Amino acid sequence: MSKFLIFLLIMGVLFCSLYFGGKLTADGRMDKFLDGGVNVSLFVWQKLTSWWQSGPSESMDYLVANLTDQGKVKIDEWLAKKGLNEYGDKQGTVYTGGTPAFNEQTGQNVDKYLLILQKFPELVKELDLGKYLQPTK
C-alpha cells in the first residue's frame, strides 16, 4: 500500500512539473518555459530514484549492525534449512577471490549478513529479525 502511495506521489510530481513547464536553474530557481518541464521531471526522477534505492540499504545496514548473535543464528539456520551456503548461494558455489564478501571497488569486506539480507530482504519479516536487535544507547 505504501509503495502505491509513493508511486502516486511520484507520478503527481512528474505530471505537475510537465504541466507547469519549469526548468530548474543551477542556482535553484525555476525558470518558466514550456520545454523545461522535461528537465524538471528528469531531475525529480533522478532524486526520487536515488532516495528509493538508498533507503532500504541504509536501514539494512542499521539492522545488520545491531543484529544480535541470536538473530544471526536464525539466519544461519534458515540458510541450512534451504540447503544454501553461508552466503545464500547454492552449495558448491565458487567465488572469484574466495568470497563474495570482498568488495573489489572499495577493497573492503562486506558483512555476510548484509549480503544475505540484501539478497533475501523478505527474511527481515519472515524471521522477525526486528526482535533480535541490540538495544541502542
Tell me the pLDDT tens digit for each residue of 36-93.
445 555 565 565 555 555 544 557 888 899 999 999 999 999 999 999 999 999 999 9
Alpha-helical (H) ranges within the chain are 2-20, 37-65, 69-82, 112-119, 123-126
Query: Cβ distance 133 to 68 under 8 Å?
Result: yes
Q: What is the pLDDT of residue 37?
A: 47
Please state the rounded mean pLDDT for residues 110-132: 92
| Region 85-108 average pLDDT | 88
- The stretch 12-20 carries a mean pLDDT of 62
